[in-house]
Amino acid sequence: MTARTIWTLLIALAGLNSVQAQERTGRYYPLDHRKPLGEVARWNASIRPAVANYVQPVQVQLPSEGDVTFYQGSVNGAIVLPAPAQVGMQVGHAYRIKISNLPNHPGVELYPTIELLGRLHPPVELKEKYPVPVEITAEELETAINDQMVTKVIYLEQPQLANPTRQVNGRMHVESLGTQVNLLEAADMRGRPIAILRMGGRVPDAGSPEDQFYSTSPIILSGK
């Protein structure tokens, strides 16, 4: 695990240069980050049954303080943890979370989703020490607050394609690509896709506490 780095592909509505915007392979790739929530995770689990429902530690990281709420079907029984918040998520499932109590954005609540496509393979005794990091930056929070969509594909890079750039202050490497680029295909070219983060301005229906907006995927409290 120490020889490999968790990378992130970020799609954002920022100005992009022509090289980034035109990345294509010319081959057919069946999966796309724009598929409906949960579809990619279910497809991955169906073709890789050995990892389906594996409980993978996932850690949600915020730029500063804040709360992370994990849902399991409704607002009732939700799990609220301070950031960085770590829980176990099952491979092949999609999860709705809430981000709130942000020091620089009082009263703001955001409802990202995390779709878990794969798992990491650290030694068993180090499983909780090496969660999948889902890092949400201050810039991404601002983008979502302005009702724009942020999509990230988190992947484990191939050693032979490793970027020599060192991590700064433990932060993940982020590469911005054009909005028309299939992030899953781009991540697959660089390594092994692990998770998809989607974050925008969508909020739940206050009149429907059992709204399908809330994921029903099981959450396992982490023993980190």
- Residue 137: CB atoms within 10 A of its CB come to 18
3-state helix, strand, coil in the chain (%, to 5): 15, 30, 50
For the chain, the structural domain boundaries read 6-25+32-221
pLDDT at 43: 85
**Structure confidence by residue, pLDDT tens digits, 68-92:** 999 987 777 799 999 999 999 999 9
pTM: 0.84
- pLDDT tens, residue by residue, 140-185: 999 999 999 899 999 888 766 666 555 566 677 788 887 778 888 8
- Determine the pLDDT at residue 216: 81
- Tell whether the model's pLDDT for residue 62 goes beyond 90: yes
Strand partners, 100: 67
Instruction: Provide DSSP, 66-94.
Output: -EEEE-SSSSTT-EEEESSEEEEEETT-E
Mean pLDDT of the chain: 82
% of the chain residues with pLDDT over 70: 79
